[in-house]
Amino acid sequence: MSFFNRGLHMPDPEKDPLPEEEAAILDKLARKTVERRMTVPAIMFLESVKPLNYIGSQALVFFEPIIQTVFNLKDYDTFRMALEKRETLEILIQKIEAFDAVVYDREKRVKKFMKREKKKWKWYQRWLGLFTPKVEIPEEVLNPPEEKDSEEKKKDSR
């Protein structure tokens, strides 16, 4: 140990920085953020308050009596304890971005599918919106098979 890093505790890159229950809470929060289409404002807010995450966790302790009437206290405590760690906000931002990428890809596939479907419609259905047929989006468009399967198919076709 050198003189300059005596007070620093460097996290082990092999070990997960968060316990399982804290990661589950962050996962849930990231999913809810993406479901409500608040990805960009949430990321901007989290990036701007990143240096204040410990102070934010202490503010959560202050507001706990008020919040416990509305929210599940166990999840609230877990989230508060997760915020005390410096790397938590970066992990939350990465989770939000990952879920947003999945949703974006799904929307792109659905849009492409609908464009192909609309080509089959009659002119008055396309342009006027009259008597539009009910379209059911297939499961393989919403949830495509794993990438591993598609890579194996590419290898087999060669």
pLDDT digits (tens, 9 = 90+) for 132-142: 888 888 888 88
pLDDT on residue 44: 96
Hey, where are the domains in the chain?
20-157
The answer to whether the beta carbons of residues 54 and 83 sit under 8 Å apart is: yes
pLDDT tens readout for residues 44-67: 999 999 988 889 888 988 988 888
What is the pTM for the complete model shown? 0.73
DSSP state string for 32-81: HHHHTT-HHHHHHHHHHTGGGHHHHHHHHHHTHHHHTTTS-HHHHHHHHH
Q: Contact 82/136 with Cβ under 8 angstroms?
A: no
pLDDT value for 8 = 52
Specify which of 34-38, 114-118, 151-155 reaches the highest per-range mean pLDDT. Answer: 34-38
